[in-house]
Amino acid sequence: MGLCARDRLAVALDLPSLERAREAIDALDGVPGWLKVGAQLFAAAGPEAVRAAGRRGRVFLDLKLHDIPRQVAAAVDAATAHGVSMLTLHAAGGSAMLAAAREAAEDAAARTGRERPALVAVTVLTSLGEDGLAEVGVAGGVDRQVGRLLDLARAAGLDGVVASAREAAWIRRRAGAGFTIVTPGIRGAGDPPDDQARTAPAGEAVAAGSDLLVVGRPILRSGDPAAAARAVVDEIERALAAA
């Protein structure tokens, strides 16, 4: 992951149609280095959304794959053939699933001549806090569960994890340099948290060790998405300069 500030920002195209996504991509004017295609847009537009995003940035396909190993491997194979640069899967799918995904990405890249996508494992969704984890039967709190899943992802040879800025500093100490930390839930001081439970400003996330910040609604609902994205890039740049 390069240190250029714009390469540290992924704008989430969490939109209901390909037309809306294309409008957002044009409005962003190439400011972010990454564009994220998530479940909503992919369900609405499929691979065409990946192609549209790929014309203006690197594509982060965020489908949070979580299925039996064979199905996840097949999905990773197809995503690699579409030329995505990063994709997500749930670490909670287990070591066999994670290993199958890694092997599928390597095989598909070799077969197609495409770049192997970075595989990042979701630890605990940023919409969940301690109560939410307990509700689904996970004991020990957020940090303990993130640690469990971090170790599982590393053992499976994945490239990184998705985690909030609140966990980023100790993940960096535990995983070391070269392990990618993707952080959603980025909110400025004046931004509503929406449905996010564990949020942080962009500069704080970078200072804590996050590599790639995912920002959606605060940018897309602004009157000028390019200016809003540029403000986040500027904040990232200041944090990198101070590091």
Catalytic residues: 64
Q: How far is CA 184 from CA 27, 42, 71, 112, 170, in A?
A: 21, 18, 26, 31, 17
User: ∠46-4-154 over CA atoms, to 5°?
Assistant: 65
Answer for the pair 196, 187: CB distance below 8 angstroms, yes or no.
yes
CB distance 123 to 150 below 8 Å: yes
In our burial notation (b when 16+ CB lie closer than 10 A, e otherwise), range 157-176 reads ebbbbbbbbbbbebbbeebe
Q: How many CA atoms lie within 13 A of 43 on its CB side?
A: 7
- Count CA atoms closer than 13 A to 39's CA, side-chain side: 6
CA neighbor of 204 nearest in space, from 216, 186, 178: 186
- Crossing angle of helices 18-28 and 47-54, in 10° steps, is 10
